[in-house]
Amino acid sequence: MRIEVRRDLQEKRIKDSSETQRDQLFTLSATEPRSHDTNNELSGDHDSTNTHHRESHQGSSSLSPFDCLMQSLAPTNTMVHDARAARDLRTAEELLTKEIDADRNNHYSYDNRSAVRAQLFEWDNALQDALISIAIQPSLKGYISKGIALCGKQQLWDAMEAFDLALLFSNHNQMTIEILLIKAIALFNSSRYDEAIRRVQDLAAARQSSETLQCSFVNSYLRVQRAIIVFKDGHYSEAADQLTASITTIADLFLCTTPKPRLGGPGLNGFTDVFTVLFGWDLDSLWQTANQRRCEALLRADRVIEAAGSHQYMMRMMGEAAKPSYLEWSAGEWSWSI
């Protein structure tokens, strides 16, 4: 009861503060916005007329927590989904804008457009969409979108509060870990690299073995991205060492025999899609990107023998179909070093 009362007060405060801005942004139709029932939202048992929202919870007990979260986050419009999968974010934004023009009370469309605009680094617009979504109906994705946008704007205290409120909407106790990982990634994207990685490591230490795998995946991805940032800053030897430390873990996690990892294994089922939807992560090429960057970093650091070993390792691990494109890349890279 104390949790429900606290949550009602928090949501009322946010809805009241957002109401004026929302009225300025669009005119409501004759249909009133759907009301939000605290107990129903927490249990996942909704009377909402939104078919997608209701269906997303059917059979949820048979789904993994990440699958349930993915149902809450994924766009229902297949054209939007395809545009985002092709990384055509402008087209996805245009399609979502058409959805909003057709129904300005559909909070899902604002949620999805907020995520797209965040990937375009349009933080003000992303935050505006998230606030409108929450004003229409508070939801898991609404608060996650708000947290991501606020991190992008470097308003970290407010962002952490938004992520904390998102925790109230999890219909699985285990979904807490997904939201905490999203929180850490948003911090990383706001240039809080070391803090974000530390949070993921602490989370792994505190969780059970099944969830440690998920933390290890995120930790490895963030470490590769951190090494790439170090590389771009011109610290080649440091970047090479960081990538070397990550590559073995990536190979183990992805069970990699080709540059495209097999992501559907135990413990990762439905997990990786969440980060593709929210952050645009290019998971298919992570292993190859890490290895190529390590070769480049070693060459630029004049560690040629190690670079040759890294090249041989990658050729040995990848599938035959991928080798021609890699050989073309490596020919150009080695010619640069001569």
pLDDT at residue 39 tops 90? no
Element housing 110 (H / E): helix 107-119
Which has more pLDDT, 272 or 229?
229
C-alpha 107/C-alpha 88 separation (Å) is 22
pLDDT at residue 102 tops 90? yes
27 band by pLDDT with thresholds 50, 70 and 90: very low
User: Above pLDDT 90, what percent of the chain?
Assistant: 39
The pLDDT value given to residue 5: 39
pLDDT at residue 100 tops 90? yes
The pLDDT value given to residue 87: 81
Which has more pLDDT, 273 or 101?
101
* 48 within 8 A of 54, measured Cβ to Cβ: yes
Phi, psi values for residue 40, rounded to 5°: -65, -40
pLDDT in tens, 169-197: 876 656 788 889 999 999 999 999 999 99
The mean per-residue pLDDT over the stretch 42-52 comes to: 36
The mean per-residue pLDDT over the stretch 60-85 comes to: 63
The pLDDT value given to residue 213: 76
- Tell me the angle at which helices 193-206 and 209-232 cross, rounded to the nearest 10 degrees: 170
Q: Which of 247, 240, 214, 209 is nearest to 306 (CA)?
A: 240
The pLDDT value given to residue 332: 63
pLDDT at residue 138 tops 80? yes
Give the contacts of 326 (CB within 8 A, at least 6 positions apart).
259, 288, 292, 314, 315, 318
Number of H helices, E strands in the chain: 18, 0
**Average pLDDT across the chain, whole number:** 75
pLDDT at residue 6 tops 70? no
Q: Which of 86, 81, 29, 54 is nearest to 96 (CA)?
A: 81
The pLDDT value given to residue 11: 46
